[in-house]
Amino acid sequence: MEEVNQMEEWNMAKAYFYRIDRLLTMCADCQLSSDVIKWSRALLCLYKEIYPKMIEQEKKEANNFVSALTKLRLNDPSTTNVSVSPFLDFELFLRGTMENKGMLTPKADDPSKSYRS
Protein backbone atom coordinates (compact mmCIF):
# COMPACT_ATOMS: atom_id res chain seq x y z
CA MET A 1 0.00 0.00 0.00
CA GLU A 2 2.87 2.39 0.78
CA GLU A 3 4.21 1.85 -2.74
CA VAL A 4 0.93 3.10 -4.25
CA ASN A 5 0.97 6.23 -2.07
CA GLN A 6 4.52 7.05 -3.13
CA MET A 7 3.58 6.63 -6.79
CA GLU A 8 0.59 8.95 -6.40
CA GLU A 9 2.75 11.62 -4.77
CA TRP A 10 5.26 11.37 -7.58
CA ASN A 11 2.54 11.66 -10.20
CA MET A 12 1.10 14.75 -8.50
CA ALA A 13 4.55 16.34 -8.33
CA LYS A 14 5.02 15.78 -12.04
CA ALA A 15 1.60 17.27 -12.80
CA TYR A 16 2.36 20.22 -10.51
CA PHE A 17 5.61 21.06 -12.29
CA TYR A 18 3.95 20.55 -15.67
CA ARG A 19 1.32 23.16 -14.75
CA ILE A 20 4.03 25.57 -13.64
CA ASP A 21 5.96 25.01 -16.87
CA ARG A 22 2.83 25.68 -18.94
CA LEU A 23 2.10 28.87 -16.99
CA LEU A 24 5.67 30.14 -17.38
CA THR A 25 5.45 29.46 -21.12
CA MET A 26 2.09 31.22 -21.27
CA CYS A 27 3.56 34.25 -19.47
CA ALA A 28 6.37 34.46 -22.02
CA ASP A 29 3.97 34.07 -24.96
CA CYS A 30 1.59 36.72 -23.61
CA GLN A 31 4.46 39.11 -23.02
CA LEU A 32 5.70 38.61 -26.59
CA SER A 33 2.25 39.22 -28.01
CA SER A 34 1.58 42.18 -25.65
CA ASP A 35 -1.56 40.49 -24.31
CA VAL A 36 -1.58 42.01 -20.82
CA ILE A 37 -4.97 40.59 -19.88
CA LYS A 38 -3.93 36.98 -20.48
CA TRP A 39 -0.51 37.70 -19.01
CA SER A 40 -2.10 38.98 -15.79
CA ARG A 41 -4.33 35.90 -15.60
CA ALA A 42 -1.38 33.58 -16.18
CA LEU A 43 0.60 35.38 -13.47
CA LEU A 44 -2.28 35.03 -11.01
CA CYS A 45 -2.53 31.32 -11.78
CA LEU A 46 1.22 30.93 -11.34
CA TYR A 47 0.99 32.79 -8.05
CA LYS A 48 -1.79 30.46 -6.91
CA GLU A 49 0.34 27.41 -7.74
CA ILE A 50 3.39 28.52 -5.78
CA TYR A 51 1.57 30.27 -2.91
CA PRO A 52 1.68 27.20 -0.60
CA LYS A 53 5.47 27.07 -0.96
CA MET A 54 5.96 30.74 -0.01
CA ILE A 55 6.99 31.97 3.42
CA GLU A 56 4.93 34.73 5.03
CA GLN A 57 7.18 37.59 3.84
CA GLU A 58 6.97 36.33 0.24
CA LYS A 59 3.19 36.06 0.53
CA LYS A 60 2.95 39.67 1.74
CA GLU A 61 5.16 40.93 -1.08
CA ALA A 62 3.22 38.90 -3.66
CA ASN A 63 -0.08 40.27 -2.32
CA ASN A 64 1.26 43.80 -2.88
CA PHE A 65 1.91 42.92 -6.53
CA VAL A 66 -1.57 41.40 -6.87
CA SER A 67 -3.17 44.52 -5.37
CA ALA A 68 -1.27 46.76 -7.78
CA LEU A 69 -2.27 44.64 -10.78
CA THR A 70 -5.95 44.53 -9.84
CA LYS A 71 -6.02 48.34 -9.68
CA LEU A 72 -5.08 48.58 -13.36
CA ARG A 73 -8.66 47.89 -14.52
CA LEU A 74 -7.53 45.79 -17.46
CA ASN A 75 -11.04 44.83 -18.53
CA ASP A 76 -12.08 48.47 -18.91
CA PRO A 77 -12.09 49.35 -22.65
CA SER A 78 -11.06 52.92 -21.85
CA THR A 79 -7.78 51.67 -20.36
CA THR A 80 -5.07 52.06 -22.98
CA ASN A 81 -1.30 51.91 -22.99
CA VAL A 82 -1.01 49.87 -19.81
CA SER A 83 2.59 49.75 -18.64
CA VAL A 84 4.04 46.24 -18.64
CA SER A 85 6.34 47.11 -15.75
CA PRO A 86 4.05 45.83 -12.96
CA PHE A 87 3.54 42.55 -14.83
CA LEU A 88 7.23 42.08 -15.47
CA ASP A 89 8.12 42.97 -11.88
CA PHE A 90 5.60 40.43 -10.55
CA GLU A 91 6.80 37.74 -12.95
CA LEU A 92 10.43 38.35 -11.98
CA PHE A 93 9.45 38.17 -8.31
CA LEU A 94 7.63 34.85 -8.85
CA ARG A 95 10.48 33.42 -10.91
CA GLY A 96 13.01 34.53 -8.29
CA THR A 97 10.93 32.94 -5.54
CA MET A 98 10.74 29.68 -7.49
CA GLU A 99 14.47 29.75 -8.20
CA ASN A 100 15.26 30.32 -4.51
CA LYS A 101 13.16 27.28 -3.67
CA GLY A 102 14.93 25.12 -6.27
CA MET A 103 11.82 24.83 -8.45
CA LEU A 104 13.39 26.07 -11.69
CA THR A 105 16.82 24.48 -11.83
CA PRO A 106 18.22 21.28 -10.37
CA LYS A 107 20.34 21.35 -7.25
CA ALA A 108 24.04 21.76 -7.94
CA ASP A 109 24.89 19.09 -5.35
CA ASP A 110 22.92 16.42 -7.22
CA PRO A 111 25.11 15.31 -10.14
CA SER A 112 22.33 13.16 -11.64
CA LYS A 113 20.26 16.31 -12.22
CA SER A 114 23.13 18.47 -13.40
CA TYR A 115 23.27 19.84 -16.92
CA ARG A 116 27.00 19.17 -16.90
CA SER A 117 26.86 15.50 -16.00
Q: Are 21 and 46 in contact (CB under 8 A)?
A: no
The secondary structure of residue 83, as a DSSP letter, is -
Report yes or no on 79 lying in a domain. Answer: no
Of 96 and 1, the one with more pLDDT: 96
Report yes or no on 53 lying in a domain. Answer: yes
Q: Are 104 and 79 in contact (CB under 8 A)?
A: no
- Averaged pLDDT, 58-71: 92
Of 31 and 114, the one with more pLDDT: 31
Report yes or no on 54 lying in a domain. Answer: yes
Q: Does pLDDT of 16 surpass 60? A: yes
Closest of 50, 75, 74, 72 to residue 61, by C-alpha: 50
What residue numbers bound the domain in which 50 lies? 34-68
Of 105 and 90, the one with more pLDDT: 90
Number of domains in the chain: 1
